[in-house]
Amino acid sequence: MVKFDDFGPEKIFEVYDPVSKMKGFAVLDNTALGPGKGGIRMTATVDKEEVAKLARTMTIKNAMADLPFGGGKSGIIADPYKTDKKKKEEIIRAFSKAIKCICPSSYVAAPDVAMGVNEVKIFVKANSDKKAATGKPKSMGGIPHELGSTGYGVFVATIEAAKFMGLDLKKATFIVEGFGNVGWFAAKFLTEHGATLVGASDSKGSIYNPKGIDFKKLDAVKKKTRRVMDYNEGKIGKPETIRTCKADIFIPAGVAQDVVTEKNINKLKFKLIVCGANIPFTADIEKKLFKKKIVVVPDFVANAGGVISSYVEYIGGKEQDVFPLVQKKISKNTKLVLKRSKTKRMSPRKAGLEIATERIKKAMKKRK
C-alpha cells in the first residue's frame, strides 16, 4: 500500500481504456510549488508503489532545484518489448487522453523507461497541449537530451564543492563511472576546466591511468569500439574495479546502484563524490561517508540539470537559456547544502532534504 504523510501523495489517478486495454496511473505527490513534474514509464511490472516513490523523489528534486514544479510520476502497464509499434502508440494515445483532465494543469509529463522522444511526441499530440510534457522533439519546441544539461550540472556542482573544500580543480584528478551521456559531458567540461581524468568505466569494463587519460582520444575509442577499456594506455579492469582506484573526485554516473557498499567503503581513495546517477548508494552509506570526511554532493542536488532544462522547455525557452540557469541554480543550491552540512554537522543529503522540505512546507502554508 502507498503510504500517505504530510506531503502526500495528493492524488493517485488510475485509468483504464477498454478498447486499447490500456492500464495506467499518475501519482501527484505534492503540488504546493507547482504542477507535479515527472516522467512516464512503461513496463510490464510498474505499479503504484514504485511510481509513488518516484513521484516523491521528484517532489524533493524539484524543490531542491528551486523550480515552480511539484512532484509527480506516471506509469503505463505494458511490456514495450512484446508490444508492436502500432499497439504501443494506441496505448500511449489512450493514456494521454485519459489523464488530460490533470495534464498539464496539475501534472507535466516527461520521458522515462521505454518512453523516449517519439513516444512523448505521440503523448503530446493526443493531449493537444505542448505543455503536457517536456522532452519533446526539437520541432515541437523541445530541448534535446544531447545538449548535456545534466552532465553540465554535475560539473557545476563539482566546481562549487571543490571551492568549498579548498581543492584546486586544475591540480585535481577525477574518475567517472558510466561513460554515457551524463558521465561523458561531466568529463568533457571538467577536462576543459583543467582537471585530469584518470579513470572511466562503462558496462563492458574500465580503464585507469594515474598519469592521465586524454578525453578526446577516449571519446574516439568509445565511439569506435563501444568500450572504454580499448583505450589501452592504462590498467584494464571490470566496471566495478574503478571504484577503488585513487583519485581526488569520483563521479558515479552510470545505471548501477550500490556503487559504494560496506564491502568497499574502506577501500575508497576519494576526497569528493558528486552523484551524477540517481541513488548510487544508500542514505546509510552516505552517513558513513560523511563520518569518513568524504564530501558527497547528493544526486538530487548535482544531477538536477535535466529537470532545470525541462523547466526552460516548459516556459518556451531556448537552448541558449539552459546552461546559464543550470549554472545559477546548481551553484546556489550546492553552496547552500554544503554550508548547512558544515554548520549543522550533518550529511549533505540530510542538509539538502531539510532545505527542500522547508521550501515545500512554506509553499503549503501559503496555499492554505
Q: Are residues 193 and 274 in the same domain?
A: yes
Is 2 within the bounds of a domain? no
Domain boundary among 78, 108, 140: 140
Predicted confidence (pLDDT) per residue in 1-11, tens digit: 778 788 889 99
Q: What is the pLDDT of residue 259?
A: 95
Q: Say how far apart CA 240 and CA 312 lie, in whole Å.
A: 36
- Per-residue confidence of the chain (368 residues) as pLDDT tens digits? 778 788 889 999 999 999 999 999 999 999 999 999 999 999 999 999 999 999 999 999 999 999 999 999 999 999 999 999 999 999 999 999 999 999 999 999 999 989 999 999 999 999 999 999 999 999 999 998 778 999 999 999 999 999 999 999 999 999 999 999 999 999 999 999 999 999 999 999 999 999 999 999 999 999 999 999 999 899 999 999 999 999 999 999 998 889 999 999 999 999 999 999 988 999 999 999 999 999 999 999 999 999 999 999 999 999 999 999 999 999 999 999 999 999 999 999 999 999 999 999 999 998 76
Query: What is the CATH number for 129?
Result: 3.40.50.10860
Q: Are residues 50 and 108 in the same domain?
A: yes
Residues annotated as catalytic (active site), given as ranges: 73
Q: Are residues 135 and 175 in the same domain?
A: no
Q: What is the pLDDT of residue 2?
A: 78
Query: What is the CATH number for 220?
Result: 3.40.50.720
55: its cell numbers: 513521484
Q: Are residues 247 and 304 in the same domain?
A: yes
Is 363 within the bounds of a domain? no
Domain boundary among 140, 165, 195: 140
Q: Are residues 292 and 153 in the same domain?
A: yes
Considering only the C-alpha atoms of the chain, give the largest distance between any 2 of them, rounded to a whole number of Å: 62
Predicted confidence (pLDDT) per residue in 139-181, tens digit: 999 998 778 999 999 999 999 999 999 999 999 999 999 999 9
Report pTM. 0.93
Q: What is the pLDDT of residue 146?
A: 77
Q: Say how far apart CA 215 and CA 339 lie, in whole Å.
A: 32
Q: Are residues 196 and 342 in the same domain?
A: yes
Domain that holds residue 76: 11-59+70-140
Is 367 within the bounds of a domain? no
Q: Are residues 33 and 99 in the same domain?
A: yes
Q: What is the pLDDT of residue 1?
A: 74
Q: Are residues 251 and 103 in the same domain?
A: no
Is 219 within the bounds of a domain? yes
Predicted confidence (pLDDT) per residue in 246-287, tens digit: 999 999 999 888 999 999 999 999 999 999 998 899 999 999
Is 365 within the bounds of a domain? no
Q: Are residues 124 and 232 in the same domain?
A: no
Q: Look at the chain and report how many structural domains it folds into.
A: 2
Is 4 within the bounds of a domain? no
Q: Are residues 259 and 300 in the same domain?
A: yes
Report yes or no: 40 and 109 within 8 Å, Cβ to Cβ: yes
Q: What is the pLDDT of residue 268?
A: 96
Is 6 within the bounds of a domain? no
Q: Are residues 344 and 224 in the same domain?
A: yes
Q: What is the pLDDT of residue 362?
A: 96
Is 364 within the bounds of a domain? no
Q: Are residues 181 and 129 in the same domain?
A: no
Domain boundary among 119, 140, 161: 140
